[in-house]
Amino acid sequence: MAITIDGTRFERAAERIREYCEVEVYKDRNYTGGYDDRHNITDSITAEDLESANNLYAGIRRADFQRIINNPEIPLKLSVIKDLEIGNLTDEQWRNIRGDILSLVAVFVSVRGVDLAKTTKVLHLKRPRLLPPLDSLVVKFLTGNDMEVNRFSEDEVIRIGLDCMEIVRADLVQNRASFDELQERLVDLPIPLTMVRLHNILCWTQQKWVKEQNPRAKYGTAVESLNQSLNQVAAPTKAPETEKTSPPTEIASIKEFRRVIARAEGVIVITTTRPPRAHSPLCDLVSDDRFVENTSIGEGKKVKYYWSASLFEARRDFGAVGCKRCRP
């Protein structure tokens, strides 16, 4: 059974999950300090929720516990979000729930001392089939954004979090049969793992163990699921030798933006994130409203849009990475 996530083919996905359970943070029901056995599908945040998140290295300070627990907006925002299987949501259902999730994440990260990783590690416990934990390793694997090195505004952090969730949903939809089989093969685990969490573990281990070549873990060293080159990363796109390149052009007005969209050629590079993201002109993350919002001066920054003839040129000229949703 193989699962492909963003060009990475996991030939031994079940073995990878099992090895994570053995050497990283997973523990069985007899261990009182677990994480995956602490789902608490209610609308309020408790001290136990925060302690459980810290067992997955959320790093929430005791001084911040009460700021989260006593925030009156969090239970209100949680109450309108059901624990739905994100991989089962239709495009319309996702559009309907996306705004509620954005609002919930925005309230959480507005709390002093709380970032995206802390937010989502708590929220996964509250809605374990819908919301993935998104620490810096997972975000870097899914989007290329380095949350440890680069500084992002609160709005950028929220946008990155929602982008990650959209990628997770798309991956689970595209690989649904494989994830169903993966879950069945892991039914003997003492603590069942949701599909969102299975996807999360695959991304996290690939970034840490493989890409960053750091297989050392809390309870051992990852070896078994990494051998024999069984996790292959797709080769980077190369420009054909005969391809003629064109200089990138800045999209300076909504009129130019609409003209580029209408042509449906090349890619649109947006500097919202670091590294910049390249989108197909047909990507649903590229819209008139977002162009106007992003290119308006606010909070001391101005996002720029560029047109490039190809993803190869966008990588060459801007160091851009391809959008994980539209895969230009």
Q: At CB < 8 A and 24+ separation, what contacts does 246-251 make?
A: 246/308, 246/309, 246/313, 248/306, 248/307, 248/308, 248/313, 248/314, 248/317, 248/318, 249/306, 249/307, 250/304, 250/305, 250/306, 251/291, 251/305, 251/306, 251/307
Which tokens in the block code for residue 295?
A: 């290119």
Phi/psi for 143 (5° steps) reads -125, -15
Task: Give the pLDDT confidence score for residue 229 in this predicted structure.
Answer: 39
- Please determine, for residue 272, whether its predicted confidence score (pLDDT) is greater than 80: no
Task: Report which DSSP code applies to 237.
Answer: P
Instruction: Identify the CA nearest to 58 among candidates 130, 5, 108.
Output: 108
Q: Which residue has the higher pLDDT, 247 or 23?
A: 23
- Please determine, for residue 58, whether its predicted confidence score (pLDDT) is greater than 50: yes
Task: Give the pLDDT confidence score for residue 246 in this predicted structure.
Answer: 67
Q: Which residue has the higher pLDDT, 302 or 98?
A: 98
Which tokens in the block code for residue 219?
A: 């309870």
Which tokens in the block code for residue 264?
A: 């449906």
Residue-wise pLDDT tens digits, 200-239: 999 999 999 999 999 988 888 999 888 643 344 444 444 4
Task: Give the pLDDT confidence score for residue 283 in this predicted structure.
Answer: 82
Residue-wise pLDDT tens digits, 127-166: 999 999 999 999 999 999 999 888 899 999 999 999 999 9
β-bridge partners, 279: 268
Phi/psi for 321 (5° steps) reads -115, 150
Residue-wise pLDDT tens digits, 29-55: 566 668 999 999 999 999 999 999 998
Contact 150, 166 (CB under 8 A): no
Task: Give the pLDDT confidence score for residue 114 in this predicted structure.
Answer: 94
